[in-house]
């Protein structure tokens, strides 16, 4: 149900306008405010224990702006920058980076980026901000160089939507193709901690990988 809703919204609005539909349903419900997941007696729903750290968050509190980064899951290669021309460094271009994205009412998406999935102890190494073609057109000219056009880069990155069926993905990919993305990293793959300054990765300038 949720995947169908997201597909419909993106196909109808993301590719053609700068805002989401006013009929976008209650974001709290979409992004997980309804915590009743299990079945109790007589088919009624019961709350399951929350997964948050009980020492740091004893009340198991949630906030609506934290939720929803499973609106869309994209997998793509060519999202890690090689630091040299050795085979070890160039092989970073083959690493699958998981984008776990949240859709916003203004037509944009923000994707947390993981090079190892999104298990409980995986840490995001950066994010990709996605905007519509209309929004990209309004950017200052000296800013546009940091953004990549998904119509060009999706195929080069061998992007897939692993949580969708082939039919669902085929309806969504054309709309995503007409968007632009900007990747900002604050963590280099392999480092134990974020070292040095964050940087913008120009996806469209990465070398080709045979």
- What are the structural domain ranges in the chain? 2-35+67-205
Q: What is the mean pLDDT of residues 5-17?
A: 44
Higher pLDDT, residue 146 or 120: 146
Residue 58 confidence class, pLDDT cut points 50, 70, 90: confident
Is the pLDDT confidence value at 20 over 70?
no
Find where tokens 């009340």 sit.
Answer: 59
How far apart are the C-alpha atoms of 93 and 184, rounded to whole Å?
16
What pLDDT was estimated at residue 127?
95
- Portion of the chain with pLDDT greater than 70, in percent: 76
What pLDDT was estimated at residue 161?
94
Nearest to 203 by CA among 131, 142, 133, 154: 154
The answer to which of 3-7, 51-55, 91-95, 184-188 has the lowest mean pLDDT is 3-7
Q: What is the pTM of this model?
A: 0.74
The answer to which of 4-18, 72-86, 143-157, 176-190 has the lowest mean pLDDT is 4-18
CB 97 within 8 A of CB 114: yes
Cα–Cα distance list, 190 to 115, 121, 141, 183, 198 (Å) = 10, 15, 34, 18, 15
Is the pLDDT confidence value at 74 over 90?
yes
Beta-bridge partners for 99: 74, 113
Q: What is the mean pLDDT of residues 9-37?
A: 38
DSSP 147: -
Nearest to 176 by CA among 2, 6, 24: 6
What pLDDT was estimated at residue 19?
37
How far apart are the C-alpha atoms of 106 and 103, rounded to whole Å?
9
How far apart are the C-alpha atoms of 25 and 194, rounded to whole Å?
37
Helix 2-9 / helix 166-177 crossing angle, nearest 10 deg:
30
């Amino acid at each position: 149900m949720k995947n169908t809703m997201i597909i419909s919204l993106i196909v109808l609005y993301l590719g053609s306008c700068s805002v989401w539909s006013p009929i976008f349903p209650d974001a709290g419900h979409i992004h997980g405010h309804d915590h009743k997941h299990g079945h109790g007696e007589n088919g009624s729903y019961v709350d399951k224990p929350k997964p948050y750290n009980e020492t740091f968050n004893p009340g198991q509190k949630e906030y609506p702006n934290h939720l929803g980064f499973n609106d869309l899951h994209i997998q793509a290669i060519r999202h890690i920058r090689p630091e040299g021309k050795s085979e070890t460094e160039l092989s970073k271009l083959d690493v699958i980076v998981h984008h776990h994205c949240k859709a916003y009412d203004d037509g944009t998406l923000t994707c947390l980026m993981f090079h190892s999935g999104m298990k409980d102890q995986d840490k995001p190494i950066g994010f990709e901000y996605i905007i519509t073609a209309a929004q990209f057109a309004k950017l200052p000219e000296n800013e546009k160089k940091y953004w990549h056009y998904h119509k060009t880069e999706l195929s080069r990155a061998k992007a897939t939507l692993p949580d969708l069926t082939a039919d669902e993905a085929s309806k969504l990919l054309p709309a995503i193709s007409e968007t632009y993305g900007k990747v900002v990293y604050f963590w280099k793959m392999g480092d134990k901690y974020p070292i040095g300054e964050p940087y913008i990765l120009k996806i469209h300038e990465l070398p080709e990988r045979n």
